[in-house]
Chains A and B, each alone.
Chain A
């Protein structure tokens, strides 16, 4: 077991449970299913694993119209038909019209690659079921050329889901599962430090307090996430806002500056304004 271990990177803070999950998935070559609130870095994880283990990364972004077959290969029958009418020599070889999908490309890789199947829950409800054999045995059959495509190295497969649809049990059984929790204040501080190493301590502390205050507001439709916090801090730095401006007299009595980066929903902004209004009145 002398494999390289994933311990996070200079751009990505991994918690111990996430490290255990990734390393187990890498060692046993099982797909790892990642769930979590939006904006907790699910997709980025695959990029960072590929970077830190120096492996090529293949990304397959699933859409609502995606079919499992798209990831394997597609047979472009129409262009073959066209070519046959134009008398092109290419037409004799069916192989010329097989378009490889992302899964095939990953199977073909010379070194063990990282394959990201992003937002698998976007696709049709049967989509994961159509990939069972491929993920289990890491092989599939191309009917047109009658060849069996086998993975040269079992890829490290990461699958992300936003919980829009529930995934079938048979599929879940074959995966390891990790739920990225929303980071606690200490982890969040580390994450921000990674992205803004030169940030002033006072500003960071104030920004984090304000951020967690906003998150704890009851009834928010969309709670701000890590990526939104990072955007917000970027804005604060760009505008050169002093830490005192964030503090106010009482965090509950003012809306944070540049709140547009944190609250993405007019109902939430409205709710927040109402709360602030009520607090002000109660405080008077």
Chain B
């Protein structure tokens, strides 16, 4: 029963692994959640789900799988030895009630009927006077009014109106992202090149030994700066319009890149590269950076990553004045070729799905313009892009 639940969770897109499942079983064996379906739910969730974004998916699978979780508990209880049930119920019943149980034919009769009805029962049941379920007057189930009632599972009368997993409180945390920032960071790490720069704060062991030996054995400490990622990265991000659909993945890429690179510069553009970029989208018309000064400011050591879907009318690339929001004297093609000429190490990441590229002519044009170095914005594509950037033409200017 639980094994199928495990399979359902995996099918439902929750990355559950076998050790986690085993630890849930271990916890169940330790009787941590023996008291109520809610506790079982909490326990299952804490053992199997490790990201609050998956809580909603878990709730859905849980609700589907244990449609009427009480029933599951009843099943578990039905498989338990009589003594256990008896003990439990004896604790819960008053003397008077016990006498009435005897009137009904005693314990064995009661349990026998319970088994029979469990077998008969096909569906979850609420109310009514015969079947097992919640809130009824049948002797079985819980939360009922029959004094002979065998209380099964949860604490009767204390249940909330809505079951916790049906409430689906975590709905808006589920975003179905395929690329987590962690994965992005790991991919970006390919592009690392360590160099020692900045304040000297690490012990230089070799240097110290050398200096101490020269100092006739008296200790002479030498410090060196810590190794840091010396790669310089320039991000050019397409913003607005058709990019709105890709905002999330771009944000993740941006935050991952920010954390990984010490020298990171970024600029925004709309649809295609023209004579200007900007840093602040709110002041995009007042505070702009001219592309020529951008090319002067950042030397060709910088690796350039362009992020954009390149989905537009081909005129926007080919024609002077083709831009959708201003009059550009020179075409996007001219500006792009200036950029690629200045920065030898450049890639284009495209959030649009790769199999759709061939249907959009402008993607083909942009791809040719960057010399075929366009990659899809997926983990695999990012990996390839980073490898491409790393290869590039190594210039001696960059000290390693």
Query: Which chain B residues lie closer than 8 Å to A166 at the CB level?
Result: 180-182
Query: Which chain A residues lie closer than 8 Å to B23 at the CB level?
Result: 28, 30, 176
**Are B46 and A176 closer than 8 Å at their CB atoms?**
yes
The reply on A24 being an interface residue by CB < 8 A is: yes
The reply on B81 being an interface residue by CB < 8 A is: no
The reply on A201 being an interface residue by CB < 8 A is: no
State A166–B255 Cα separation when bound (angstroms): 12
**Are A177 and B203 closer than 8 Å at their CB atoms?**
no
CB distance from B195 to the nearest CB of A (A): 18
User: How many of chain A's residues touch chain B, expressed as a range?
Assistant: 20 to 34
Query: Which chain A residues lie closer than 8 Å to B221 at the CB level?
Result: 78
**Are B46 and A178 closer than 8 Å at their CB atoms?**
yes
**Are A177 and B182 closer than 8 Å at their CB atoms?**
no
- Judged by DSSP, the binding face of B is helix
**Nearest A residue to B219, CB-CB:** A81
**Are A179 and B185 closer than 8 Å at their CB atoms?**
no
**Are A20 and B219 closer than 8 Å at their CB atoms?**
no
**Are A16 and B32 closer than 8 Å at their CB atoms?**
no
- Per-position 1/0 for B28-63, Cβ under 8 A of A: 001111000011001101110111100100000000
**Are B52 and A179 closer than 8 Å at their CB atoms?**
yes
Query: Which chain A residues lie closer than 8 Å to B49 at the CB level?
Result: 177
**Contacts across chains A and B counted by CB atoms under 8 Å:** 78
State A30–B19 Cα separation when bound (angstroms): 12
Known contacts A78-B203, A82-B219: does B182 contact A165 (CB below 8 Å)?
A: yes
The reply on A21 being an interface residue by CB < 8 A is: yes
**Are B169 and A173 closer than 8 Å at their CB atoms?**
no
**Are A24 and B181 closer than 8 Å at their CB atoms?**
no
State A20–B37 Cα separation when bound (angstroms): 12
State A169–B15 Cα separation when bound (angstroms): 9
- Per-position 1/0 for A51-92, Cβ under 8 A of B: 000000000000000000000000000100110010000000
**Are B219 and A85 closer than 8 Å at their CB atoms?**
yes
The reply on A115 being an interface residue by CB < 8 A is: no
**Are B50 and A177 closer than 8 Å at their CB atoms?**
yes
Count of chain B residues with a beta carbon within 8 Å of a chain A beta carbon: 36
The reply on B17 being an interface residue by CB < 8 A is: yes
CB distance from B207 to the nearest CB of A (A): 14
CB distance from B139 to the nearest CB of A (A): 28
- Per-position 1/0 for A13-42, Cβ under 8 A of B: 000110011011001101011010000000
Known contacts A20-B43, A28-B30: does B50 contact A173 (CB below 8 Å)?
A: yes
Known contacts A27-B27, A28-B23, A28-B26: does B46 contact A21 (CB below 8 Å)?
A: yes
CB distance from A177 to the nearest CB of B (A): 5
**Are B38 and A16 closer than 8 Å at their CB atoms?**
yes
**Are A176 and B47 closer than 8 Å at their CB atoms?**
yes
**Nearest A residue to B184, CB-CB:** A166
Among B50, B55, B219, B259, max chain A CB count under 10 A is at B50
Residue positions of B touching A, CB distance < 8 A:
15, 17, 19-20, 23, 26-27, 30-33, 38-39, 42-43, 45-47, 49-52, 55, 164, 169, 180-182, 185-186, 203, 217-219, 221, 259
A-B contact list, 15 entries, CB within 8 Å = A16-B38, A16-B39, A21-B46, A24-B27, A24-B46, A28-B23, A28-B30, A33-B50, A78-B203, A78-B221, A81-B219, A165-B182, A165-B259, A168-B182, A177-B49
Residue positions of A touching B, CB distance < 8 A:
1, 16-17, 20-21, 23-24, 27-28, 30, 32-33, 35, 78, 81-82, 85, 125, 165-169, 172-179, 181
Given contacts A28-B23, A166-B181, A177-B49, 14 further A-B contacts (CB under 8 A): A17-B46, A20-B32, A20-B46, A21-B46, A24-B30, A24-B46, A27-B32, A32-B46, A85-B217, A85-B218, A125-B182, A173-B20, A177-B50, A181-B169
When A and B form their complex, which 3 residue pairs have the shortest distance between CB atoms, in order from nearest? A166-B182, A172-B50, A179-B52
